[in-house]
Amino acid sequence: MEMIRYRKKTANDMIFDIGVAVLAVLSFLIVAYPLYFICIASISDSTLVATGKVLLFPKGISMFGYKEILGDSRIWTGYRNTIVYTLLGTFVNLLFTLPAAYALSRPEFRARRFLMFMFVITMFFSGGLIPTYLLIKGLHMTNTMWVFIFPFCVNVFNLIITRTFFETSLPKELYEAASIDGCSHFKFFSSVALPLSRAVVSVIALYYLVAHWNDFFTALVYIRDNELQPLQIILRDILLSNQVFEGGAGGGGGGASGGYAQQFADQIKYGVILVSTLPILIVYPFIQKYFEKGVMIGSVKG
Amino acid sequence: MTTQTKLTVPNREATITAKKPSIFNTFRRDYQLWIMVFPAIVAIIIFNYIPMYGIQLAFRDYDYTKGLTGGAWHGLYYFKMFIDNYLFKDIMWNTIKISLATIIIGFPAPILLALLINQIRWKRAKKTLQTTVYMPHFISIVVMVGMLNVMLSPNTGIVGNLMNHLGYGDVNLLASTNSFIPVYVLSDIWQHCGWNSIIYLAALSSVDPQLYDSSKIDGANRWQTIRHIDLPSIVPTMIILFILSMGNVLGTGFEKIFLMQNTLNIPVSEVIATYVYKIGILSNQISYSSAIGLFNTLINFIFLFATNAIAKRVSNISLW
């Protein structure tokens, strides 16, 4: 691209550029520093962290926190449960969402307007917590892993994104040509539409994945059994139980980190934050390039 | 694609004889599409529409033995009960305060960030900044609140230390009624501002480059470019997002507030969503909490419609 310079760079522009640079660096630091701080605090001596000595580099490096975390059976159970719920849940999400999005993207499908309307309504109306709770209870899904998988397995926002992508990125002639060759919708969907839509599939898979991984509410409301608790509930016990003691409302609620020496408690907390967020941070860079596209598609007709 | 000679060509006769074939006429042709959309329909009906039908609980006495809709009709009894409750004023006021603060401060933040990012000429710096500011969006709420707890803790946290150095003394930002809303709103901005700016960046990237060129010819400086080209180009997006956020004015996030609550900040942190959870799930007052939930939904709707109507009047942009 060729820059057009009809006007000389004035002092005004210089000030502007400097202002932009300062603000950009500032916003970078505001976001990045807390994240960085957690990393260094998780391997530093907790007393040094607590007295504000650890600011730029880790000090008094010890892996005690991580050792404790990896030796904690609840973390492992939580991790295992969350991985199962996330993978199975995302699989079911995609299984329900992608074919539906394809069907709703076909212009010749006569029911599409009505069905789309039916889906969109649910974005604005909902039964609310209590009727939903009673329904799930009535279906005997409470205290089972299925409550993580099936309820609300179609996210309408994701459905719209995918449908819009199919509509705009698959040329109309493509299906016509394929159908003359005797290609059915099933076949066209699985061997033409899906392979051409890797961008949107990655984006909504990431959305679903993150939603499952971070889901705390479902377990809070529907799960009582300790063996079924996902990582986020365990995290709450470890990260927030101290707060319960401080607030004077202890009453044994949580009480999870009671076993750890207090001076290591903070190191463990920082470590847990990192360990629990790691999987998402690993996936993130691979899918990041699709974000803008995904959001943009969604905003067109969302 | 493998070619299969046996399969039928789409039903040609149907399209020729009737210009607009009905759903039934096309069923034979489109049955595969129906199969594909069927699971999603079933899921939506079960998990979204049946609970909607269950809203009538708010007007009935819930009876375990008679199921969702079997209880005796009780009219607006539970709504009155909520309005007459001594907590009503506090809960409403807290909910409104928290969401208005979130909207007033949280709404412009991503716009400013997007305008800033859009001004960065150095590609790599721009990319790095974007990657960084999007990241906190993926942190779970539990972890987010956990971070707040360890960092803001008065004795051991980094912010607590800083406050000490600055001479503010041992302020417990987590347990004070004054700091609850600022902590909630600012941490929300920290987490989601970057992500929410994507949509504005997308709008900015679709601005016709000729506009910038001609503004340069006219001698516009960078400020004027922002003010007269960038801002107007994202106004439609702004309005739509503003309407949507107003439609959620009482829908404060349950999880974060619930996790940030403690006995000391409860006077300012109890909102409708947390109250419904406590009354309904923990103390089993099914009908009462359904009524509160419905009350919440209705007020959200009024705000959504009102903002939409105003936006339509003023700017001709609206959701429908």
State residue B102's pLDDT score.
Answer: 87
Interface contact flag, A108 B213, Cβ < 8 Å: no
8 Å CB contact between B272 and B95: yes
Would you call A12 an interface residue with chain B, using a CB distance cutoff of 8 Å? Answer: yes
**Closest Cα in chain A, distance from residue B86 (Å):** 22
Q: Element (H or E) spanning A96, and its range?
A: helix A73-105
Q: Cα(A27)–Cα(A72) distance, rounded to whole angstroms?
A: 37
Confidence of residue A299 (pLDDT cuts 50, 70, 90): low
Nearest to B132 among A28, A232, A276 (CB): A28
Residue in A130, A187, A191 to test binding to B, most B beta-carbons within 10 Å: A130
Would you call A173 an interface residue with chain B, using a CB distance cutoff of 8 Å? Answer: no
As for the ipTM of the complex, it is 0.81
State residue B44's pLDDT score.
Answer: 93
**Closest Cα in chain A, distance from residue B262 (Å):** 6
Q: Cα(B4)–Cα(B6) distance, rounded to whole angstroms?
A: 6
Q: Cα(A258)–Cα(A252) distance, rounded to whole angstroms?
A: 10
Maximum mean pLDDT: which of A140-144, A295-299, B55-59: A140-144
pLDDT tens-digit profile of B71-105?
778 788 888 888 888 888 998 888 888 888 888 89
Q: Is the pLDDT of residue B279 over 90?
A: no
Nearest Cα to A19, choosing from B235, B266, B221?
B221
Q: Cα(A59)–Cα(A48) distance, rounded to whole angstroms?
A: 7
Would you call A106 an interface residue with chain B, using a CB distance cutoff of 8 Å? Answer: yes
pLDDT tens-digit profile of A152-162?
899 888 898 88
pLDDT tens-digit profile of A104-130?
998 888 888 899 888 888 877 788 888
Q: How much is the mean pLDDT over chain B?
A: 82
State residue A230's pLDDT score.
Answer: 92
State residue B4's pLDDT score.
Answer: 42
Interface contact flag, B165 A20, Cβ < 8 Å: no
Maximum mean pLDDT: which of A212-216, A285-289, B300-304: A212-216
Nearest Cα to B279, choosing from B294, B266, B293, B269?
B293
pLDDT tens-digit profile of B195-250?
888 888 888 888 888 988 888 888 888 888 888 889 988 888 888 888 877 776 66
Interface contact flag, A273 B117, Cβ < 8 Å: no
As a whole number, mean pLDDT of residues B298-303 equals: 82
State residue B72's pLDDT score.
Answer: 78
Nearest to A240 among B67, B135, B259 (CB): B259
Residue of B nearest to A159 (CA): B40
Confidence of residue A68 (pLDDT cuts 50, 70, 90): confident
Q: Is the pLDDT of residue A257 over 70?
A: no
Question: Which one-letter DSSP state was computed for residue A229?
Answer: -
**Closest Cα in chain A, distance from residue B47 (Å):** 6
State residue B251's pLDDT score.
Answer: 64
Least confident of A249-253, B51-55, B172-176, B256-260: A249-253
Q: Is the pLDDT of residue B160 over 80?
A: no
Interface contact flag, B40 A273, Cβ < 8 Å: no
Given the structure tokens 């949280």, which residue do they identify?
A: B106
State residue A98's pLDDT score.
Answer: 95
